[in-house]
Amino acid sequence: MSEPTRAVGYIGLGNMGAPMATRLLERPGRLIVCDARPEAVEPFTTAGAEAVATPAAVADHASVISVTVLDDAQVRDVVTGPDGILSTARPGTVIAVHSTIGDATATELATTCRAKGVDLIDAPVSGGAPGAQQGRLAVMVGGSDEAFEAVREPFGYFAELVIHAGPVGAGTRMKLARNLLHFVSFTAACEAQRLAEAAGIDIRKLGKVVRHTDAITGGAGAIMLRDTTAPVADDDPWFSILSHVRNLGEKDLALALDLGERFDVDLPLGTRALAGLGTGLGVGTGPVADRAAHQKENA
């Protein structure tokens, strides 16, 4: 079977997975989709994709399988669980994990898969849902040369940039480095707003200036939309948005700090960002930061 027509599978049709898989509907060849929610699958079957009930069933049909689920535990279940991909995958199958997980999880799962002749690559993405919708994501691939070549063609439907970061684990390390910058900059923006507010500056106008230049250079102005740095009330529409940002930030910062510790790289602003991101955003610390603070107190 030629590369452009080989069947591709997609598991996890959430905020990122759905727009990425939607781009694959434009691709020649079969698209096999799987999600626990029938309402997530329905638009894809209407558009011509084939839906199956389990990751194992995806592997029955597809030789390249993208996975976009929530966290390490869900990735493990999708790959090695009772109805997981490995239970039916044929040798030569490539599993691409787009979720941001620990690099150690990626390398461990890749070793397990390799014993069955299956390649698992870590392939986290950058660019968010808008980038996926536009087909402009950046994908950072950790895996063998052969596996990278197998995914370049299908990834090209949702990504403008597909980078071979190195061996398995390197894609996640690159994503963590990129997201360290991303989430540390959010914390710095909160600090800048506090300084400007104390100095009598209209922080909405400051936000306009930052967003103007960030539209040219990129930056942290995307969160500078509120008219105060005061804590956000639970019933404020901003609360769910900023809590989501906090949860993503704390998860990725904790992963990046773990990576820095293992490679003996001091990340003081990363440490500060993990402790202060939620409070700076006005929604309080999340479970990851609370757990880190508790561990520090008991160290």
CA distance from start to end of the chain:
57
The SS3 assignment for 136 reads coil
Please give the backbone phi and psi of residue 283, each rounded to the nearest 5 degrees, phi first: -120, 5
Nearest to 96 by CA among 40, 58, 50, 45: 58
Is 205 among the residues known to form the active site? no
Beta bridge partners of 125: 139
- Do 21 and 50 form a contact (C-beta atoms < 8 A)? no
Q: How far is it, in rounded angstroms, from Cα 197 to Cα 200?
A: 5
Given 116, 175, 208, 296, which residue is catalytic?
Answer: 175
**Are 196 and 190 a contacting pair, CB within 8 Å?**
no
- Which residues lie closer than 8 Å to 63 by C-beta, 6 or more apart? 6, 7, 90, 92, 93, 94, 150
Q: For residue 163, with 0-12 CB atoms within 10 Å meaning exposed, 13-18 middle and 19 or more buried, which class applies?
A: middle
C-alpha 36/C-alpha 59 separation (Å) is 16
Closest among 263, 122, 97, 272 to 183, alpha carbons compared: 272
Residue of 268, 276, 288 whose CA lies nearest to 229? 276
The identity of residue 51, as a single letter, is: A
Show which residues are catalytic.
175
